[in-house]
Structure 1
Amino acid sequence: MPFVRRRGSPTLAPVRLVIARCQVDYVGRLTAHLPMAPRLLLVKADGSVSIHADDRAYKPLNWMSPPCWLEEQPGVWTVRNKADESLVIQIDEVLHDSKHELGVDPGLVKDGVEAHLQELLADHPGVLGEGFSLVRREYMTAIGPVDLLCRDADGGSVAVEIKRRGEIDGVEQLTRYLELMNRDPLLAPVKGVFAAQQIKPQARTLATDRGIRCVTVDYDALRGFEKDDLLLF
């Protein structure tokens, strides 16, 4: 009987860490192949599966974001999603296999500048797009709060993720929020805006590929708005 992990369980599943000699084949919009080698396989509580080498911290070699499901047969893992993409992981030898309950994460605590940037953009949402208006700060989803929920000039929902420095991880974070929010008929369709003081080219490329608009914001100029608000004349 194969093991099948499906997304949407009412309780958080444990994180699973597997170190194995494996090869990986991705089939979807393109094809990609990872030859046989020792790698870390990470299965998160949200259902995502990622494959890691020992030479980078910020990005896996390949991955499948939720909603997706894992079907485990002896020597073969198959990860599929609704877009008919798949990761086929052929395992030659398992070196380690463990599960860990991490519980509910409190979320990232923003530094002073990033928190202030969020506050300033909430007060001046027009910086993010013409006709934008604020609906709510820290709009809560099942996987954490979106920095800003706004409406655009046409009344459409916009989720805004704010960083001091925009990197790939921030785009991935906003992508997960958008996947959840677009399932809510009261919000959908929800567009995404990735706002930061600096946005790395790789992050901008990934955001564009996923239909997320990037906005570079000037913190000092926003602070000038704040000072203007204090003027009496």
Structure 2
Amino acid sequence: MRLVIARCTVDYVGRLSAHLPSANRLLILKADNSVSIHADDRAYKPLNWMSPPCRLTVEEDVWTVVNKGGEKLIINVEEVLHDSTHELGVDPGLVKDGVEAHLQELLADRMEVLGAGWSLIRREYPTAIGPVDILCRDADGGTVAVEIKRRGEIDGVEQLTRYLELLNRDPLLSPVKGVFAAQEIKPQARVLAGDRGIACVTLDYDALRGIEDDKLRLF
């Protein structure tokens, strides 16, 4: 991974056009050839990015990133404040705890608890930024991404938001809605999910296992 802090301008040329005026920013270049541009706010979310596969060329102070669709990210570097490269090695990936993994398995086997006519597309649906717990279709045939947690907090909503942003770029899947499912959902996470148009589902682990009342509570 290469980390560059630089004063730069950024232009995106593709289906839409976007411009970032001159400012100090963090540029992240990963081994998969992805490039993302960050400000010192917005938490994890980049100002702009190019997902792999893409190609980076550098001519003097101009970096041009081109993806397979011909879209371009043009970075004009005015001043480099920091430039370092780090070998991170192969990441083992996120290991879910036993409860989360079992919730995912149970829910995938019983999609009807989310709604009549819902059907599973795939568990652990792969994306460039990690697997979506469950990808499914609702009764109207719309695509839905489901993120499952034991305890639903803001980080989980942010994670699902990242998946939705990526999935909605795929014309074969778009539009993709989101469902945030957990045994307990914190009030702040519920408010954030609602603001982003993500439905929240409270999961009853025992009910899914058939021990108690066979219901989910959808809010």
TM range (shorter): 0.5 to 0.7
Identity of aligned residues (%): 58
Cα distance between partner residues in 1 of 2:118 and 2:164 = 18
Cα distance between partner residues in 1 of 2:126 and 2:14 = 32
- 1:39 maps to amino acid: R
Segments of structure 1 that go 5 or more residues without pairing to the other structure are: 1-14, 183-187, 205-213
Structure 2 equivalent of residue 51 of structure 1:
37
Cα distance between partner residues in 2 of 1:62 and 1:135 = 30
Equivalenced residues, count: 199
Structure 2 equivalent of residue 37 of structure 1:
23
Q: 1:80 to 1:129 in 2, by over 3 A?
A: farther
> Which of 193, 197, 202 does residue 200 from structure 1 map onto?
193
Q: Which string of whole-angstrom CA distances, capped at 9 and with x for unpartnered residues, describes residues 27-62 of structure 1?
A: 334333222222110012232211112223221122
Structure 2 equivalent of residue 218 of structure 1:
202
Q: Which string of whole-angstrom CA distances, capped at 9 and with x for unpartnered residues, describes residues 142-161 of structure 1?
A: 8654423657779x9x6844
Cα distance between partner residues in 2 of 1:73 and 1:94 = 15
1:18 deviates by: 1.0
Once the two structures are overlaid, the 10-residue window that deviates more, 84-93 or 170-179, is 170-179
Structure 2 residue 161 is the aligned partner of structure 1 residue 171: yes
Structure 1 equivalent of residue 147 of structure 2:
162
Query: TM-score normalized by structure 1?
Result: 0.64
1:140 deviates by: 6.3
Contact 1:167 1:203 in 2 (8 A): no
Q: 1:201 to 1:131 in 2, by over 3 A?
A: closer
Contact 1:159 1:190 in 2 (8 A): no
Q: 1:216 to 1:230 in 2, by over 3 A?
A: closer
Structure 2 equivalent of residue 81 of structure 1:
67
Once the two structures are overlaid, the 10-residue window that deviates more, 191-200 or 55-64, is 191-200
What is the RMSD of the two structures over their aligned residues, measured on CA atoms? 3.8
Q: 1:82 to 1:135 in 2, by over 3 A?
A: closer
